[in-house]
Amino acid sequence: MAVSKGIEDAVKVEVAQLRVGQAPMRIATMALGSCLGIVLFDPEARIGALAHAMHPRRERVKNNMNRAKFVDSVIPLLVERMLQWGARRERIVAKIFGGARMFDGFTGCRGVLQIGDENVVAAREVLKEFGIPLVAECVGGRTGRTIVLDVSDGSVLVRCVNDTEEIY
């Protein structure tokens, strides 16, 4: 794959999935559009987690068995898993990525093409509710993003389709 160079060694998280890991692991998820990549990190224990969520709210969707699919249900799930790995709740910080609007000026039949914005709003709300500080974000816009979390220092590499790379 042309664009995915440099992340062959990283653990991949697919749509509506999540992974938790410890340094020196690298966790990546590819091609976030309106979906939201949620990164939680405990800098002292160097335990990190990444989820690729599709929808903002679980109760609004009929097909809702998979908790990792929804922003509001995956955040508590990530915290729970990180605590099992030995992270401490009060040390966890968050970063969010994605939530773009890939098609402009057009809402689709159910307004779903604006779901990126809703995902971002939901994530901010839920994180606030849980008292998890949001320390970085790269959201919105019209571009897809691939993100790679380096669990050894909590840094997140964001790559867009035109090969621009930034660290958050």
Partner 1 sequence: MSPIKRPSYLRIDALKELGNIGAGHAVTGLAKLLKKRIDVNITSVDLIPVKIIYNFFDGPESMVSVVYIEGYSEGFRGMMFLIFPHPEATRLVELATGKSQMDENFWDEYSVSVLKEIGNIMCGSYLTALSTFVNRKLMQSVPQVSHDMLGAVMDSVLVDLSMESDYALVLETAFTLGGNGCKGFLFFVPTQESLDTIFESIGVD
Helix (H/G/I), strand (E/B), else coil: 29: strand
Q: Is 164 in the site for partner 1 (CB under 8 A)?
A: no
Residue 144 is a binding residue for partner 1 (CB under 8 A):
yes
DSSP strand E in 10-168: where?
Answer: 11-12, 18-22, 26-32, 36-42, 47-53, 93-98, 134-139, 145-150, 155-160, 165-167
The DSSP code for 85 is: T
| Part of the chain binding partner 1 (CB under 8 A), chosen from 1-9, 39-47, 79-87, 126-134 | 1-9
How many CB atoms are located within 10 Å of the residue 49 CB?
29
Q: Which is nearer to partner 1, 37 or 154 (CB)?
A: 37
Residues in the chain: 168
Q: How far is the CB of 15 from partner 1 (least distance, A)?
A: 6
| Segment lying near partner 1 (by CB under 8 A), choices 42-50, 77-85, 128-136, 144-152 | 144-152
**Binding residues vs partner 1 (CB under 8 A):** 1-4, 15-16, 30-35, 54-55, 61-63, 65-66, 69, 100-104, 106, 108-110, 112-113, 115-116, 142-146, 161
